[in-house]
Amino acid sequence: MASKLCLILVVVATTLFCCPSSHAYVVSPANPVTAATICKYTPYPSFCRSEIPNNNSAGVYDYGRFSVRKSLSAASKFLSLIEKYLGRSSTLTIGAVRALEDCRFLAGLNVNFLSSSFQTVNTNTKATLTPLRADDVQTMLSAILTNTETCLDGLQATASAWNVKNGLFTPLSNATKLFSVSLAIFNKGWLVKKKKSPSHPRTKHLAFGKGRLPLKMSERNKAIYEMVSRRKLLQDDGGQVLVSDIVVVSQDGSGNFTAIKEAVAVAPNNTAAADGYFLIYVTAGVYEEYVSIAKNKRYLMMIGDGINQTVITGNHSYVDGWTTFNSATFAVVGPGFVAVNMTFRNTAGAIKHQAVAVRNGADLSTFYSCSFEAYQDTLYTHSLRQFYKECDIYGTVDFIFGNAAAVFQNCNMYPRLPLDQQFNAITAQGRTDPGQNTGISIQNCTIRAADDLASSNATTQTYLGRPWKQYSRTIYMQSFIDGFINPLGWHEWSGDFALNTSYYAEFSNTGPGSRTSGRVTWPGFYIINATDATNFTVSSFLLGDNWLSPTGVPYTGSLL
């Protein structure tokens, strides 16, 4: 079926420019431009010219639609190729099979993202989309590049055990270039400059428990709803949080389920935001299980009894044979996910290296008053748009990493004591393409040493971050940075890799570790002003005013 789909897509993509009157393809007569001119705006001009046929009557929107459609064909082909390799799994190592399974999962997401993106650009006949719709598409096109890079990382880690160089690396490399071309052309044609936030603070505090109760909710669940509401988890300012139904997870058997996975399984599939949240209330306890929120479990809200009261824990690690991607104790890709008052742990320990507590690839996701505890690679902010409020994050090497557009507000970062000869890096951001709308923004947070590091006599060095990928982007603003941070602030990844192309910035931080006079002198490091910092606020960087209010989570949209 997949190969048949690929054939159809290739045929359609090849004929688009030959058939401008096709009902499936709307040609814009305005501003015709050559393919060579359009390709100059992409990171791969030569590759772009070889893939995008010239049409003297085509404009940027035509080329954009064509490139997204062709990208969809390439993603479908690659998914079929992965299935082919997995069909030979009996001849592969466990590590190779797990890397391929990650690739299959990620390639499936790419097909979905590209299908949605093409539907948007193909039906849009105007010069611009609304800012929110443009941000949606740019986010999805950014995510497909992140997904291919994650797949590539996993394959490279296992490539010595099997021959994948020609069979998978070449098509994956070509697909990555095509995805980059699509993103660049989309940005050139459709992207509207995001509106800046106002200079004065705007703080939203919405009410939990004032939303409409579902008509068929049992009296027992209504009582639970009111009890959770009275905890004032989400602040009262006249807003509404709509809840469709509630289930309770309790280890003593008094709830609907004793395991979190069971509650997730009964959540409705593919609900819309207007349907309200399916609320899973997880009572106090230590839940030793691996939880995954699938892409069809949309708008799910999970509330616990508090940090260190409701705990989800596991110990998968890279050393024990798991890919970094699949070592997570808790993984979520379902859009609109909200977690409140919970602790997520990976107890593998520093000796097991990469061991993720939470991997988040859920668009428009929110974690409020949560704790993330591990050592190396604690919180994997993998992709799409994410917000973290009043959370605690503990770790050692690269313990906040990934390539989402992520904002941390009023959070606490606690570097821990790593292995001997290791240094701490709080962030390792993974932006691989200059057109991606991704980065880590840390606002009004507190950076202090965890107790084990603070009380140790070790000479461990701790840095604000290092460039995991070519266009790594991280901003610290209006945050307290304690004196244990190395005066250089930032650490290289390997030699001079990405020191020219990364974007590391600091704005109006306080504390003894915030002094910038001794910072690195890389071309990619900046001391920015308020105008530049505003670009990385909730309202500007995440367009958070459009989607955070219904979560009930308090946030500040702009600078303080």
Distances (CA, A) of 428 to 259, 345, 368, 396, 518: 33, 20, 22, 11, 21
**Alpha-carbon distance 26 to 9, whole Å?**
17
Would you say 472 and 430 are in contact if contact means Cβ atoms under 8 Å apart? yes
Catalytic residue among 398, 420, 451, 452: 398
Could you give phi then psi for residue 531, rounded to 5 degrees?
-60, -45
Amino acid at residue number 500: N
Cβ pair 397, 413 in contact under 8 A: no
Output the CA torsion sign for 549, 255, 284, 361: negative
Closest CA to 537 of 412, 426, 444, 429: 444
Phi (first) and psi of residue 33, to 5 degrees = -150, 150
Mark out the alpha helices in 298-364 (DSSP H runs): none
Strand order across the 462-465 sheet:
291-293, 330-332, 358-360, 379-381, 397-402, 424-429, 462-465
398 labelled catalytic = yes
Alpha helix locations (H) across 159-194?
170-189
CA 318 to chain centre: 21
DSSP 438-463: -EEEEES-EE---HHHHT------EE
251/53 Cα distance (integer angstroms): 61
Contact 380, 360 (CB under 8 A): yes
Residue type, 88: R
CA distance linking residue 356 with residue 379, whole number of Å:
6
Residue 512's SS3 state is: helix
DSSP per-residue string spanning 71-132: HHHHHHHHHHHHHHHHTTGGGS-HHHHHHHHHHHHHHHHHHHHHHHHHHHHHH--SS---HH
What's the one-letter identity of residue 319? V
Looking at residue 345, its amino acid is R
Per-residue tokens: 175: 């697909």
Q: Give the span between the Cα atoms of 311 and 87, in whole angstroms.
A: 38
The set of catalytic residues is: 398
